Structure 1
Amino acid sequence: MIPFLLLLAAAGPLPDKGEPPLTARTQISGGPRPAEQTAVTFDHADLSFEVLPKHRRIRGDATLSFTARAPLTRLVIDLDRNLPVSAIAIDGAALPKSGWSNPEGQLTIALPRPLAAGDKVRARITYGGTPHVAVNAPWDDGIVWSATAEGKPWMATTTQGYGCDLLWPCLDFPAGEPASVDLHITVPAGLKAPSNGRLLGVETLPDGRTRWNWRARQPNTYAIALAVGPYDEIRGTYRSRYGNEIPLHYWHLPGKAAEARALFDEFAPTLDFFEQVIGPYPFADEKVGVVETPHMGMEHQTINAYGNGYAKAPEGFDWLFQHEFSHEWFANQMTAANWDDYWLHEGFAQYMQPLYGQWREGEARYAVMMEAQRNRITNAAPVVRDKLLTEEEVYEPAKGGAAGDIYFKGAWTLHTLRWLIGDEAFFRATRRLVYGRVDPKPGNFAPRFASTREFQEIVKEEAGRDLGWFFDAYLRRAALPELVEMRKGDVLRLEWRTGGAFPMPVEVKIGDRIEWVAMEGGRGAVTVPAEAHVVVDPMARVLRRSVAVEQFQAWQAKARR
């Protein structure tokens, strides 16, 4: 075995963006999985990282504990081959190098003995190398190596799209979460390593390096994150409306104390909004954590990445902080088990911004923020396809993905649903989706997996009627419903044109009064005086086709050429 330090000396030039290249296998997160991965329960991960900024390398030691659900003769674990394995031990016994292989980014380990259902196994994997450098994080994954204005190392990871295997040996699909994780992150002297969960302690090594020890429960596979820099820290405590106290932490770069304090001051009111409108903060026993990163941001559980440059906005709050924080409920507490249901993360998170604007300032702010999102809906592909999909198949247009529509169309779908079924049913359904119950309190819920089909069933129960037609129209078909108006004499006839049944009611303003048109069978009529001024859907309750928006988007696209 070649000593790791000798490998560093022979490493050659530092990697640039996009280097070293990834295999097609490593770029896949989610989708159909090998039978060996779905045949295990991931009990625990003990992950040790050493970050070497000078060489842009990491070394890792991962002990992974599993319980077999079915007979197994091998383990199949995802790990980028740019992080070659130097040793593996199964239940403490070292394997010969012939006992594993990783040609394309899926590490196959032959077990010394077959496992029966219910048997436990512990695999210790020692690895290290040059991790892939992100081209444009967080939209393109990997490590971002940077430096502060004073020239000190500053780095962060992001792995949502390509997956956790860019950083550690894992099961790279949403339902592959370990039940708990211990993290040990060793960094050069003078640097800090805030990470997921609760801080167990910081050790100072004889040469001045420090080891940061963290413990997290059931983090998303892509939520395990490294962030290293010469951080200053702001701390506080939030007294929850549920009676518990929640630690607040913000790690920021030196020299930005005033801006950092202003952002930190947003933590408490944002937390109060979510706890009042949605329910208890899911990780109150760990922390609310945010860290400044050299990329835009990501919902890393209890250590959300923030890189918005302390931008100001007319709504009076930092959209990036608010969006990533909302993922503690919609992605980390409630996780889509299949990337096909990705909109449950992003659509809800996107909707939380105008909802927060409404909570803070009222209806005018809500309407302005919803209108801005409406103009970004493209309707190029269905949001949900009812298939087992990879993250890129859901997000990338070139692979049939809905791209930004999982955000903006998702948010508008929720806006229309809320009006259709009313606030009480909508928020009861949302709480059941997030917590699995309508009465969440600290200690009576745990992170859970969810799906569009489950949410649809919850809505049916809370609304007291089947709304399959609603979910089909907005999520499973690309084109929006089109409302056709036909006015003749003193009658206004309305007709929905869609690819299926769509009995969506509509409000019609006739002069100074508003009438409700039921639209049974997708058609309806209302009597209007010949001289009356009529506005259909005057409060923009219903997501529907808009020729004006389509023309605006076409004009924008042409202007950008």
Structure 2
Amino acid sequence: MAIRSKATAAVASAAAMTLFAGTALAASPGAPGAGDPYFPFYGNGGYDVSHYDIRLNYTPTGDQLSGTTTILAKATQDLTQFNLDFLLKVKSVRVNNAPASFVSDGGELTLTPRGGVRKGQDLTIVVTYADSPSTVKDRNGFTAWTKTADGALAIGEPEIASWWFPSNDHPTDKATFDVNVAVPNGVEAISNGTFLGTTRQINGYTRWNWRSAKPQATYLTFLTIGQFEVRQSTAPNGQPVVNAYSDRLGANADPARASVERTPEVTEFLADNFGPYPFEAQGGVVTPDLGYALENQTRSTYDDGFFRRGANTYVVAHEIAHQWFGDSVSVHHWRDIWLNEGFASYAEFLWSEHVGEGTAQENADFVYDSYPADSEFWNVLPGDPGSSNVFHGAVYDRGALAVHALRVAVGDEKFFEILRTWVAEKKYSDATIEQFTALAERVSGQQLDQLFQTWLFTKGKPAEAPGRAADASRSLSVAAEPKSRAKIQLTHELLDAHR
């Protein structure tokens, strides 16, 4: 340690104070939103998060959640204050070990750290809180947290984080995560990434420990608590696999297992098409009470209704495809949702070809013929659906037709090269539709403006299904319906609850 005289130290201190004063004059509050045109209050400006450590206690009786989230971040501008997205009751906030004043208002937690924050400064933000999440509503009167008969579900898109941990809640600010949740002995708590085991506590609670080592969006970070059968295994590629099945599945339990236990097989197939699987673990969760499926990173969650007619590997293929399209490469704005849903829906077509239940062309023909020309379906634009239609059926089905149109236009070799190049170049980041179209043109060497304009940005039913032969322009009969469509239709029935 260097030793300085008191005089030298005083001069240095005065110089630092002068510099800070000059810096403070230019400082301003961080933006209360990330600039998303659909959802202007999602996310925040002025800092970038690198890691969340979420350490919680949950009591199912009374839906009581308490704990502390520690956020590691770096300031991207000089700040007098900055925001976190959060709805629960906050007890205290510390920024770089000093207490910070805070105000909660409609999901915006505004922090004012002592002396402000300089651009480039490392931040350690500690928020302690307690509440009953199922009783908390956002500014639209909506509650994303679901209280169940034996626990709770913290699962949702485009938002869920605000009901259980403070965050910069937008896909453009990904981070790594540690999620550690203590629940009563005999209750399970499932989350993302690698399972690090349990820790038995002295108060009759067991702490479940999970780690996501790859960049992860906040809405893809999930928690499900209740009575589950937890199965652990190892995938052929050596990765850990954790699947969890609610004890309340009833007759849907075995078909659910017959589907989700094939996760490594489906992942292997999709990796052959899209490139290496981008994450460190695999798995799935099946539960009642959800009403849809969601591609939580490394561990998708499925409502048990998907399996009421038997095994359904189509929904598994859809959600696992999102690990590339949506999770690894995320939307830059929610308007870019086609990059998630169009490709995940098309993965169902690819899986159908793979298992011999209908070619991609047969599925494309069937989807095209399923919606009459006067259907409002054709007036929702997958490339810009609007905030109220982010999960509209057109984003899924017409979105898949757009992907098939690209395949037909460029041929299989260039098509799969486009997909693999896209996920390789944009891995662990976010992207726009315009960036995808530019890459497709670069890789294929073709001008594709008209194709994307027709299928993504033009209202009305296109004149013909992409790739349909001239002599096969008639509508498919029931007898000609590809076998896969029954499962894909069931997938969409439940997705309707999510839209």
Higher helix share: 2
2:470 aligned residue: 508
Q: Percent identity, please.
A: 23
1:156 aligned residue: 153
Alignment of 1:78-117 (within 5 A): 78-80=85-87, 83-95=88-100, 99-117=101-119
Task: Tell me the amino acid that sits aligned with residue 458 of structure 1.
Answer: L
Correspondence for 1:454 among 435, 439, 449? 435
Contact preservation (8 Å) 1:506, 1:537: no
Contact preservation (8 Å) 2:154, 2:160: no
Task: Tell me the amino acid that sits aligned with residue 191 of structure 1.
Answer: V
- Cα–Cα, structure 1 residues 359 and 142, in superposed 2: closer, same or farther, change >3 Å? same
Correspondence for 2:388 among 396, 407, 410? 396
SS of 1:422's partner is helix
Pair 1:355-2:350 in alignment: yes
- Cα–Cα, structure 1 residues 36 and 424, in superposed 2: closer, same or farther, change >3 Å? closer
Pair 1:480-2:461 in alignment: yes
- Cα–Cα, structure 1 residues 505 and 200, in superposed 2: closer, same or farther, change >3 Å? closer
Contact preservation (8 Å) 1:60, 1:168: no
1:199 aligned residue: 195
- Cα–Cα, structure 1 residues 203 and 449, in superposed 2: closer, same or farther, change >3 Å? same
- Cα–Cα, structure 1 residues 476 and 141, in superposed 2: closer, same or farther, change >3 Å? farther
Pair 1:329-2:331 in alignment: no
2:242 aligned residue: 249
Deviation at 1:79, TM superposition (A): 0.8
**Cα shift readout 1:456-490 (whole Å, capped 9, x = no counterpart):** 0111012212211211222122223337xxxxxxx
Contact preservation (8 Å) 2:183, 2:205: yes
Correspondence for 2:68 among 39, 49, 61? 61
Pair 1:343-2:338 in alignment: yes
Of 423-432 and 29-38, more deviation after overlay is shown by 29-38
Distance 1:141 1:252 in 2: 24
- Cα–Cα, structure 1 residues 199 and 44, in superposed 2: closer, same or farther, change >3 Å? same
**Cα shift readout 1:159-218 (whole Å, capped 9, x = no counterpart):** 31344212211112221222x111111111210111111122311111220111111132
Alignment of 1:89-488 (within 5 A): 89-95=94-100, 99-132=101-134, 142-147=144-149, 153-178=150-175, 180-216=176-212, 217-240=214-237, 245-254=238-247, 258-283=254-279, 285-296=280-291, 297-309=293-305, 311=307, 317-361=312-356, 363-364=358-359, 367-368=362-363, 371-372=366-367, 375-376=370-371, 378-385=377-384, 394=386, 396-397=388-389, 403-436=392-425, 446-482=427-463
Distance 1:159 1:402 in 2: 12
Of 366-375 and 108-117, more deviation after overlay is shown by 366-375
Task: Tell me the amino acid that sits aligned with residue 460 of structure 2.
Answer: A
Deviation at 1:36, TM superposition (A): 9.5
- Cα–Cα, structure 1 residues 460 and 313, in superposed 2: closer, same or farther, change >3 Å? farther
- Cα–Cα, structure 1 residues 31 and 368, in superposed 2: closer, same or farther, change >3 Å? closer
1:19 aligned residue: none
Distance 2:418 2:99 in 1: 50
- Higher RCO structure (Cα 8 Å, ≥6 apart): 2
Contact preservation (8 Å) 2:321, 2:344: yes
TM-score, structure 2 as length reference: 0.78
**Cα shift readout 1:98-118 (whole Å, capped 9, x = no counterpart):** x21112211111121232221
Distance 1:293 1:29 in 2: 32
1:6 aligned residue: none
Contact preservation (8 Å) 1:184, 1:213: yes
Contact preservation (8 Å) 1:31, 1:173: no
**Cα shift readout 1:335-389 (whole Å, capped 9, x = no counterpart):** 111101001111111111121010110655861475147525711232224xxxx
- Cα–Cα, structure 1 residues 221 and 29, in superposed 2: closer, same or farther, change >3 Å? farther
Contact preservation (8 Å) 2:45, 2:82: no
Contact preservation (8 Å) 1:381, 1:402: no
SS of 1:218's partner is strand
Distance 1:156 1:87 in 2: 25
Contact preservation (8 Å) 1:29, 1:162: no
SS of 1:250's partner is strand
Contact preservation (8 Å) 1:433, 1:450: no
2:7 aligned residue: none
* Equivalent pairs, count: 432
Contact preservation (8 Å) 2:263, 2:282: no
SS of 2:105's partner is coil
**Unaligned stretches of 5+ in structure 2?**
1-31, 477-499
- Cα–Cα, structure 1 residues 430 and 134, in superposed 2: closer, same or farther, change >3 Å? farther
Distance 2:105 2:378 in 1: 39
| Max Rg structure | 1
Distance 2:307 2:66 in 1: 35
Contact preservation (8 Å) 1:327, 1:349: yes
Contact preservation (8 Å) 1:61, 1:124: yes
Contact preservation (8 Å) 1:421, 1:463: yes
**Cα shift readout 1:234-260 (whole Å, capped 9, x = no counterpart):** 2222213xxxx1222211134866445
Distance 2:165 2:94 in 1: 16
Contact preservation (8 Å) 1:382, 1:476: yes
